[in-house]
């Protein structure tokens, strides 16, 4: 006999909220006080942002790091540094935040969605290869939820076809691929500093590279194309760009947060691996993958529902977990990004249908259901559970208890 679910009037596993705080305190205040006392809030008047960039570059053992206003901006300056022609195709994931796609459209390029590996939720190299055309210029692998994409074959494909790889690491600080941190494997790596990420300034981003040409262009694109090192007494605008300058207030917080990053990831990894160990034998539940070659950093904790075992949708499973007091959501995004109405109808810039009918593109692309079958299946099965570095053993075991309780109920009542 299984327990009555809270969804149906039973006693919930948990009544108190889970920890959601971040490690933000005295170190951040001390750095912020320096900025306030200096009266210099603009990044080129102070030194906090530039110091953060230098320390971040050293941390990741790369030549260049350029801070910006958001994770979306961090990807945009990467695409802007590559400067693909209008109508170029950029291959990426159909399951990601819209911030991965906005920069592609902003540069008048065409997002092309490759399918995903059904076990890892990251780009399937075979699908990337199938989607390459004479218009392809960039691949943007997304290290979803903190799990590294399979970078070796992706880099081999890129080299074969002379493509640029921009890693979207927004959710994947210190995630490891064969001993290397994501963001350092492709040509450019982009990170988010939004509130929920492993380190945060509320909002913000940072982009890294070892490529000298990209390093210079990242900085220019971030700052309206303004070359502040030009030996002239007027503003020298060298390339097209946007104003994505991080403020000194954000830079101050980022400096303090960088000192805590390793500890945060270590704690989240410990929690995620403990959860996997506790539920890996639960019938109907498929926990996230991890191995010595590809180490998760657990921005979220994703599980999949095996509908051959459990008589419940992922949406209803998430509802049942939430009723038990467990912070769960279904699907991450409701549908693959190619199912967004304005993309399907190609209504991005007014009624122009640009960039899709751009004469520089000269092709027809169709976004429709069935485009990426694995991605659609993943979104119909996945449940994401919030994870936080302040979770206690009790918090972990309450999540485990909730998952087991709900899974057992819907297995017995299939």
Task: Let me know whether 123 and 169 are in one domain.
Answer: yes
- Which residue in this structure is represented by tokens 């390093």? 215
Considering the domain boundaries, does residue 308 fall inside one? Answer: yes
Task: Let me know whether 82 and 207 are in one domain.
Answer: yes
pLDDT digit string, tens, across residues 205-240: 999 999 999 999 999 999 999 999 888 778 899 999
Task: Let me know whether 266 and 155 are in one domain.
Answer: no
Task: Let me know whether 328 and 232 are in one domain.
Answer: no
Task: Let me know whether 255 and 284 are in one domain.
Answer: no
Measured CA to CA, the distance from residue 267 to residue 402 in angstroms comes to 21
CA 81 to chain centre: 20
Considering the domain boundaries, does residue 202 fall inside one? Answer: yes
User: pLDDT category, 1, cuts 50, 70, 90?
Assistant: low
For the chain, count helices (H), then strands (E). Answer: 13, 14
- Beta 382-386 vs 328-330: how paired, if at all? antiparallel
Task: Let me know whether 218 and 80 are in one domain.
Answer: yes
Task: Let me know whether 208 and 298 are in one domain.
Answer: no
User: pLDDT category, 167, cuts 50, 70, 90?
Assistant: very high
Write down which residue in 196, 230, 260 finishes a domain: 260
Cβ-based burial of 43 (10 A; exposed 0-12, middle 13-18, buried ≥19)? buried
DSSP for 4-59 reads PPGGGT---S--SPPP---S-SHHHHHHHHHHHHHT--STTTSSHHHHHHHHHHHH
Task: Let me know whether 64 and 113 are in one domain.
Answer: yes
Considering the domain boundaries, does residue 370 fall inside one? Answer: no
Residue 242, sorted as left (phi over 0), alpha (psi -120 to 50) or beta, turns out to be beta
Model pLDDT, residue 231: 85
pLDDT digit string, tens, across residues 10-54: 999 999 999 999 999 999 999 999 999 999 999 999 999 999 999
Measured CA to CA, the distance from residue 178 to residue 37 in angstroms comes to 45
Considering the domain boundaries, does residue 233 fall inside one? Answer: yes
DSSP code at position 304:
E
pLDDT digit string, tens, across residues 67-112: 999 999 999 999 999 999 999 999 999 999 999 999 999 999 999 9
Calculate mean pLDDT across residues 286-299.
93
Write down which residue in 260, 286, 313 finishes a domain: 260
What CATH number is associated with residue 284?
3.90.1150.10
Task: Let me know whether 271 and 292 are in one domain.
Answer: yes
Considering the domain boundaries, does residue 149 fall inside one? Answer: yes
Task: Let me know whether 275 and 219 are in one domain.
Answer: no
What proportions of the chain, in percent to the nearest 5, are helix, strand and coil?
40, 15, 45
Model pLDDT, residue 233: 79
Considering the domain boundaries, does residue 365 fall inside one? Answer: no
pTM for this model (two decimals): 0.97
Task: Calculate the alpha carbon distances from 74 to 31, 168, 218, 281 in Å.
Answer: 23, 9, 9, 40
Considering the domain boundaries, does residue 121 fall inside one? Answer: yes
What CATH number is associated with residue 248?
3.40.640.10
Write down which residue in 260, 291, 321 finishes a domain: 260
Range of the domain at 215: 26-260
pLDDT digit string, tens, across residues 298-319: 999 999 999 999 989 999 999 9
Q: Enumerate the β-bridge partners of residue 382.
A: 304
* Beta strand segments in 141-237, E: 164-168, 176-177, 180-181, 188-192, 205-209
Instruction: List the one residue out of 376, 363, 367, 365 whose CA is nearest residue 338.
Output: 367
Is the model's pLDDT at 414 over the cut of 80? no
Task: Let me know whether 12 and 95 are in one domain.
Answer: no
Instruction: Enumerate residues 6+ apart whose C-beta is below 8 A from 116.
Output: 93, 94, 95, 122, 123, 124, 127, 372, 374, 375, 378
Task: Let me know whether 163 and 272 are in one domain.
Answer: no
Angle at 349 between CA 343 and CA 350, to 5 degrees: 105
Considering the domain boundaries, does residue 349 fall inside one? Answer: no
Using a pLDDT cut of 90, give the percent of the chain over it: 94
Cβ–Cβ < 8 Å for 97, 122: no
DSSP for 181-209 reads ETTSSSSEEEEE-BTTSSS-SBS-EEEEE
Q: How many domains does the chain have?
A: 2
Q: Which two tokens stand for residue 330?
A: 């279904």
Q: Which two tokens stand for residue 141?
A: 């692998």
């Amino acid at each position: 006999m299984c327990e009555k679910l809270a969804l149906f009037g039973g006693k919930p596993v948990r009544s108190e909220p889970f920890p959601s705080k971040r490690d933000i305190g005295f170190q951040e205040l001390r750095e912020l006080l320096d900025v306030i006392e200096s009266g210099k809030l603009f990044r080129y008047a102070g030194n906090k942002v530039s110091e953060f960039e230098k320390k971040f570059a050293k941390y990741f053992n790369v030549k260049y790091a350029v801070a910006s206003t958001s994770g979306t901006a961090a990807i945009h300056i990467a695409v802007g540094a590559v400067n693909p022609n209008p109508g170029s195709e950029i291959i990426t994931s159909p399951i990601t935040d819209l911030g991965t796609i906005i920069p592609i459209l902003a540069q008048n390029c065409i997002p092309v969605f490759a399918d995903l590996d059904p076990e890892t939720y990251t780009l399937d190299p075979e699908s990337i290869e199938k989607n390459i055309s004479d218009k392809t210029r960039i691949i943007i692998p997304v290290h979803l939820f903190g799990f590294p994409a399979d970078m070796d074959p992706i880099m081999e494909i890129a080299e074969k076809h002379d493509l640029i790889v921009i890693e979207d690491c927004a959710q994947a600080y210190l995630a490891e691929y064969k001993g290397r941190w994501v963001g350092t494997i492709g040509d450019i790596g982009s990170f988010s500093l939004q509130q929920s990420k492993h380190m945060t300034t509320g909002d913000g981003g940072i982009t890294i590279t070892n490529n000298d040409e990209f390093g210079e262009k990242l900085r220019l694109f971030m700052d309206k194309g303004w070359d502040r090192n030009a030996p002239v007494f007027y503003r020298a605008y060298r390339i097209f760009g946007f104003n994505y300058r991080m403020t000194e207030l954000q830079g101050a917080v980022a400096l303090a947060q960088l000192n805590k990053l390793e500890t945060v990831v270590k704690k989240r990894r410990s929690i995620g691996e403990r959860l996997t160990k506790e539920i890996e034998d639960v019938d109907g539940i498929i926990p996230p993958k991890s191995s010595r070659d590809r180490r998760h950093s657990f921005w979220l904790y994703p599980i999949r529902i095996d509908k051959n075992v459990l008589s419940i949708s992922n949406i209803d499973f998430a509802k049942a977990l939430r009723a038990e007091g467990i912070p769960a959501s279904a699907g991450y995004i409701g549908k693959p990004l190619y199912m967004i109405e304005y993309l399907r109808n190609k209504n991005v810039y007014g009624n122009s249908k640009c960039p899709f009918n751009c004469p520089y593109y000269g092709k027809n692309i169709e976004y429709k259901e069935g485009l990426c079958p694995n991605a659609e299946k993943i979104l119909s099965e996945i449940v994401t559970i919030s994870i936080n570095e302040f979770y206690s053993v009790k918090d972990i075991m309450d999540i485990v208890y909730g998952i087991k309780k709900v899974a057992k109920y819907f297995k017995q009542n299939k």
